[in-house]
Amino acid sequence: MTTIKDIAKVAGVSVTTVSRALNGYSDVSEKTRKKIELIAKELNYSPNTLARSLVMNKSKTIGLLISGIHKGMIKDDFMVEILAGIDDYVAYTDYDLILFSTNSTKQREKTYSQLIRERKVDGVILQGMKTEDPYLKEVVESDIPCVLIDIPIKSSTVGYVTTDNVLGAKKATEYLIGLGHKNIAMMNGHNFAFVSQSRLEGYLEALNEADIAVNWEWIVNGEFEESVAERVATYLLTKNPEITAIFCASDLMAFGTMKAAKNLGISVPDELSIIGFDDILLASYVTPPLTTIAQDKFEMGYQAAKLLLEMLENREGVHGIYLDTELKVRESTKSR
Amino acid sequence: MTTIKDIAKVAGVSVTTVSRALNGYSDVSEKTRKKIELIAKELNYSPNTLARSLVMNKSKTIGLLISGIHKGMIKDDFMVEILAGIDDYVAYTDYDLILFSTNSTKQREKTYSQLIRERKVDGVILQGMKTEDPYLKEVVESDIPCVLIDIPIKSSTVGYVTTDNVLGAKKATEYLIGLGHKNIAMMNGHNFAFVSQSRLEGYLEALNEADIAVNWEWIVNGEFEESVAERVATYLLTKNPEITAIFCASDLMAFGTMKAAKNLGISVPDELSIIGFDDILLASYVTPPLTTIAQDKFEMGYQAAKLLLEMLENREGVHGIYLDTELKVRESTKSR
DNA sequence: TTGAAAGCGCTAACAT
DNA sequence: ATGTTAGCGCTTTCAA
């Protein structure tokens, strides 16, 4: 492997000159620069980023801390789209991505922040962490720049990008109300997700503004999992046959709810309207196609990467980004 | 950021001793080791892997060269599952993953092998490269260990994992034949994929063994893309109404073919049987659910990672791995 | 059992 | 415009 030392030797100059020439500094004569560049090419030289990072104290890598790289990823394309968005932005920079998958099942003896510090990433993007995750605190409190997906924490080194979940949930609920529904249940995720809190808020707002009394027994948690949602929905629908519509805080949970309805012989959308949240790929393929609130996941990733790099280069940027949602009307909802 | 120097100072020993103690060498007294470990913890020390990598000349990172991180990834979960499989294996090692997405649209001024050399990855996994990709050659000819997904090249530094595509395609075709079909077309990918060659081979084998004459006009290329497949299938089916079954070399192309049939008013599976290859998630959600040959994509990723690490640690392993397929009978095929 | 010293490949003052 | 020197944080001979 050629080093600048080799080049220096061949060119008959010092390593400093080589370094300067190759890095485009102005204080090197055009002649020597040309010579050095030529030799570098001939020797098939590539710089050793390790050495460079060590001395410059920045690695030009950004860490991606993602949870559940395997479990959810297949059916729920949320993570994949985020990743695609991040990649799309990062591809045009000189940063590379290093993946830290926080597989909860595996007993990593090292904490995330240890990993991050060891690998000397310049910044990190966090996705899929629960609000009470001890590591979240650890990372946020460290001085390493990070941007959080769907967790609105802001500081000089922390930014976030998320969807306007309150408004999104409100839109969903209002749509149901507009359809003539009054007995609208909500299948939420769990209490350790900011998005759940926000979506609940939107749901409540919509009900309040329409002067519909809130029935707290109709607000349940499906843990963002299809199977849990199915179980919970089965119970909910059996106990409360008067429910005519359900707003689900994720498409996957909407699928579970649809299954529950099917098993109970409740027809969707004739007897029960179901609306989801996310607009994952499958949403338009299930039967009936799912009406849902679409979030722009790709854009979330893109904006997250953009924000992080802005922070890294000390360019001022907005540290808190809210993305819009869009109602996708399909066939799982019907006017009453 | 604490370094071993800081620890050494506090402990009143040399950096050498600290290094040895922390790395579990035996030639350090239990007493000093304990002391050093304690101090390290108190000072919240993490080793700088950059420095370590530089001197040890290995980085404990493996590069993931994947193509089309955004385009295909959403609908076609192939890449995602591979990634999940890789991650699943790597998670239990002390290696980390660094992502090089070879977005064809972007004009990377650097070649893959440059990226790889600069980042000093210890090994690399390649996915989604066409056989004639100049970079493939470049990487394979370099001395850096790599394992290829779906490209059977073997050398001392190159291994591969792939599906038994010949057998898989044969199974598919035989199933169609067993159903009573004789006029069986094939929608292949393109000529620059080994898998296409193998799947064609399997198709031909099955026909030959059943004494069915091959009609070369019925063998077309859909470029592994849904839209292309739709166009090609439309033409094929219009020209050759006698075709009663089509074996598609990917599920996505099978979807395109289904669309073509639908537009032409050809009912699947009543008038036309369609069988796919891959078994992507969507396969069981489309209407009618797609009969297909399933590959174990997760396992491919897992085995690829396993093989690469075996190569890196000089453990002997099989450099060429073939995985089995499984026929998933659903509702897009019917006996004639 | 421990330490001194060299060096991995690079950049960055500070000369000249 | 170019070179000398020091040093990033670590591992590893070689001595003691």
- CB contact at 8 A, B220 and B243: no
List B residues 109-168 in contact with A (Cβ-Cβ < 8 A): 114-115, 117-120
- Closest to A118 (Cβ–Cβ): which among B47, B69, B91? B47
Q: What residue has token string 């990598």? A: B53
Q: Pick out residues whose CB falls under 7 Å from strand C.
A: A 1, 3-5, 15-16, 19, 22-23, 45, 47-48, 51-52, 54-56; B 12-17, 20, 26-29, 31-32, 51, 54-55, 57
Which pair of tokens denotes residue B153?
């090249």
Q: Which DSSP category does B71 fall into?
A: T
- CB contact at 8 A, A83 and A64: yes
Q: How far is the CA of B36 from the C1' of C1 (A)?
A: 15
| Orientation angle between helical segments B30-42 and B4-11, nearest 10 degrees | 120
| Spatial separation of the C-alpha atoms in residues A276 and B254, rounded to whole Å | 28
Q: Which DSSP category does B122 fall into?
A: S
Band of the pLDDT at A142, cuts 50, 70, 90? confident
* The pLDDT of residue B249 is above 90: yes
The reported pLDDT for the residue numbered B286 is 96
List B residues 1-20 in contact with A (Cβ-Cβ < 8 A): 1
* The pLDDT of residue A106 is above 70: no
- CB contact at 8 A, A156 and A180: no
Summarize pLDDT for B212-237 with one digit per residue, the tens. Answer: 999 999 999 999 999 999 999 999 99
Integer CA distances (angstroms), A37 to A24, A26, A50, in order: 10, 14, 21
Among B240, B245, B241, B182, which residue's Cα sits nearest to residue B212? Answer: B182
Q: Do A98 and B61 touch (CB under 8 A)?
A: yes
Q: How far is the CA of A50 from the C1' of C16 (A)?
A: 31
Average pLDDT for chain A: 93
CA distance A246 to chain B (A): 23
* The pLDDT of residue A107 is above 70: no
CA distance A119 to chain B (A): 6
Bridge partners of B158?
B146
User: H or E stretch including A307?
Assistant: helix A297-312
The reported pLDDT for the residue numbered A70 is 64
Q: How far is the CA of B157 from the C1' of D13 (A)?
A: 30
CB contacts < 8 A (A, B): 118
Per-residue pLDDT, averaged over A310-314, amounts to 90
The reported pLDDT for the residue numbered A141 is 86
Residues in chain B with CB shorter than 8 Å from the CB of A48 are: 54, 118, 120
Per-residue pLDDT, averaged over A101-120, amounts to 75
3-state secondary structure of B146: strand
Asked, for residue A336, whether it belongs to a domain, the answer is no
Q: Do A59 and B69 touch (CB under 8 A)?
A: no
Integer CA distances (angstroms), B206 to B160, B182, B221, B277, in order: 26, 11, 19, 16
* The pLDDT of residue A317 is above 90: no
| Spatial separation of the C-alpha atoms in residues A237 and A106, rounded to whole Å | 36
Are residues A201 and A276 part of one domain? yes
* The pLDDT of residue B107 is above 60: no
Are residues B300 and B153 part of one domain? yes
3-state secondary structure of A278: strand
Q: Above pLDDT 90, what percent of chain A?
A: 81
Band of the pLDDT at B108, cuts 50, 70, 90? low
Are residues A122 and A81 part of one domain? yes
| Spatial separation of the C-alpha atoms in residues A250 and A279, rounded to whole Å | 8
Asked, for residue A328, whether it belongs to a domain, the answer is no
Average pLDDT for chain B: 93
Per-residue pLDDT, averaged over B143-155, amounts to 93
**CATH code, domain with B253:** 3.40.50.2300
Which strand D nucleotides have any atom less than 7 A from protein CB atoms? 1-5, 7-13
Q: Which single residue has its CA nearest the C1' atom of nucleotide D8? A: A55
List A residues 56-75 in contact with B (Cβ-Cβ < 8 A): 59, 61, 64, 69-70, 73-75
Asked, for residue B281, whether it belongs to a domain, the answer is yes
Q: Phi and psi of A302, rounded to 5°?
A: -60, -50
Are residues B304 and B228 part of one domain? no
The reported pLDDT for the residue numbered B136 is 85
Report the residue count for chain B: 336
The reported pLDDT for the residue numbered A137 is 86
- Lowest-pLDDT choice from A11-25, B44-58, B91-105, B277-291: B91-105
Residues in chain A with CB shorter than 8 Å from the CB of B98 are: 61, 96-99
Are residues B273 and B283 part of one domain? yes
* The pLDDT of residue B138 is above 90: no
- CB contact at 8 A, A114 and A108: no
**CATH code, domain with B18:** 1.10.260.40
The reported pLDDT for the residue numbered B66 is 86
The reported pLDDT for the residue numbered B40 is 96
* The pLDDT of residue A108 is above 70: no
Are residues A273 and A220 part of one domain? yes
Are residues A171 and A288 part of one domain? yes
3-state secondary structure of B61: strand
| Spatial separation of the C-alpha atoms in residues A236 and A110, rounded to whole Å | 41
- Closest to A81 (Cβ–Cβ): which among B48, B53, B74? B74
Bridge partners of B278?
B294
Q: Classify strands B158-163 and A96-102 as parallel, antiparallel or unpaired.
A: unpaired
Instruction: Establish whether the CB of B214 is closer than 7 Å to any nucleic acid atom in strand D.
Output: no
Are residues B180 and B142 part of one domain? no
Residues A150-189 as b or e (16 or more Cβ within 10 Å = b)? bbbbeeebbbbbbbbbbbbbbbbbbbbbebebebbbbbbb
CA B175 to chain CA mean position, Å = 26
| Spatial separation of the C-alpha atoms in residues B253 and B223, rounded to whole Å | 8
CA A283 to chain CA mean position, Å = 19
Band of the pLDDT at B140, cuts 50, 70, 90? confident
| Spatial separation of the C-alpha atoms in residues A254 and A256, rounded to whole Å | 5
Radius of gyration of chain B (CA): 26
Number of domains in chain B: 3
| Spatial separation of the C-alpha atoms in residues B155 and A129, rounded to whole Å | 42
Amino acid at A181: H
Asked, for residue A197, whether it belongs to a domain, the answer is yes
> Is A329 part of the contact surface with chain B (CB cutoff 8 Å)?
no
The reported pLDDT for the residue numbered A73 is 72
Among A142, A149, A88, A97, which residue's Cα sits nearest to residue A119? Answer: A97
Q: Do A117 and B46 touch (CB under 8 A)?
A: yes
CA distance A125 to chain B (A): 14
Are residues B146 and B173 part of one domain? no
Nucleotide with C1' nearest the A48 CA: C9
| Spatial separation of the C-alpha atoms in residues B269 and B274, rounded to whole Å | 7
Residues in chain A with CB shorter than 8 Å from the CB of B51 are: 54
Among A214, A287, A283, A295, which residue's Cα sits nearest to residue A251? Answer: A283
The reported pLDDT for the residue numbered B149 is 96
* The pLDDT of residue B12 is above 60: yes
Q: Do A91 and B101 touch (CB under 8 A)?
A: yes
Which strand C nucleotides have any atom less than 7 A from protein CB atoms? 1-5, 7-13
Residues in chain A with CB shorter than 8 Å from the CB of B64 are: 99
| Spatial separation of the C-alpha atoms in residues A45 and A37, rounded to whole Å | 10
Residues in chain B with CB shorter than 8 Å from the CB of A70 are: 84-85, 87-88, 298
Per-residue pLDDT, averaged over B267-295, amounts to 97
Q: Dump the DSSP string for A140-178.
A: HHSSS-EEEES-----SSEEEEEE-HHHHHHHHHHHHHH
| Spatial separation of the C-alpha atoms in residues A243 and A236, rounded to whole Å | 9
List A residues 281-310 in contact with B (Cβ-Cβ < 8 A): 281-282, 285-287, 298
User: H or E stretch including B245?
Assistant: strand B245-248
* The pLDDT of residue B327 is above 90: yes
Q: Do B87 and A106 touch (CB under 8 A)?
A: no
Asked, for residue B334, whether it belongs to a domain, the answer is no
Asked, for residue B335, whether it belongs to a domain, the answer is no
Instruction: Establish whether the CB of B47 is closer than 7 Å to any nucleic acid atom in strand D.
Output: yes
- Closest to A97 (Cβ–Cβ): which among B75, B98, B106? B98
Q: Do B119 and A100 touch (CB under 8 A)?
A: no
Which pair of tokens denotes residue B179?
């159903």
Among B54, B81, B85, B137, which residue's Cα sits nearest to residue B305? Answer: B85
Are residues A245 and A171 part of one domain? yes
Integer CA distances (angstroms), A250 to A61, A89, A219, A325, B228, in order: 32, 26, 14, 13, 33
| Spatial separation of the C-alpha atoms in residues A95 and A104, rounded to whole Å | 27
Per-residue pLDDT, averaged over A241-263, amounts to 98
Integer CA distances (angstroms), B128 to B79, B261, B280, in order: 8, 29, 16
* The pLDDT of residue B146 is above 60: yes
Instruction: Establish whether the CB of B5 is closer than 7 Å to any nucleic acid atom in strand D.
Output: yes
Asked, for residue A119, whether it belongs to a domain, the answer is yes
Which pair of tokens denotes residue A276?
């989801």
Range of the domain at A277: 165-295
Q: How far is the CA of B16 from the C1' of C6 (A)?
A: 13
Q: H helices within B91-225, ranges in order?
A: 112-119, 134-141, 165-178, 194-209
Amino acid at A126: L
Among A48, A65, A51, which residue's Cα sits nearest to residue A121? Answer: A65
CA angle (B41, B44, B48) in 5-degree steps: 110
Integer CA distances (angstroms), B241 to B31, B59, B92, B263, in order: 85, 59, 54, 14
Q: Which DSSP category does A290 fall into?
A: P
- Lowest-pLDDT choice from A157-161, A187-191, B102-106: B102-106
Burial of A111 (0-12, 13-18, 19+ CB in 10 A): middle
Instruction: Establish whether the CB of B55 is closer than 7 Å to any nucleic acid atom in strand D.
Output: yes
Per-residue pLDDT, averaged over A309-330, amounts to 91
> Is A328 part of the contact surface with chain B (CB cutoff 8 Å)?
no
Summarize pLDDT for A159-188 with one digit per residue, the tens. Answer: 999 999 999 999 999 999 999 999 999 999
Nucleotide with C1' nearest the B17 CA: C2
* The pLDDT of residue A102 is above 80: no
Count the neighbouring beta carbons within 10 Å of the beta carbon of residue A37. 16
Q: Which DSSP category does B289 fall into?
A: P
- Lowest-pLDDT choice from A128-142, A233-247, B89-103: A128-142
Asked, for residue A185, whether it belongs to a domain, the answer is yes
Are residues A257 and A173 part of one domain? yes
Are residues A238 and A313 part of one domain? no
B12 φψ region: left (φ > 0), alpha (ψ -120 to 50), beta (else): left
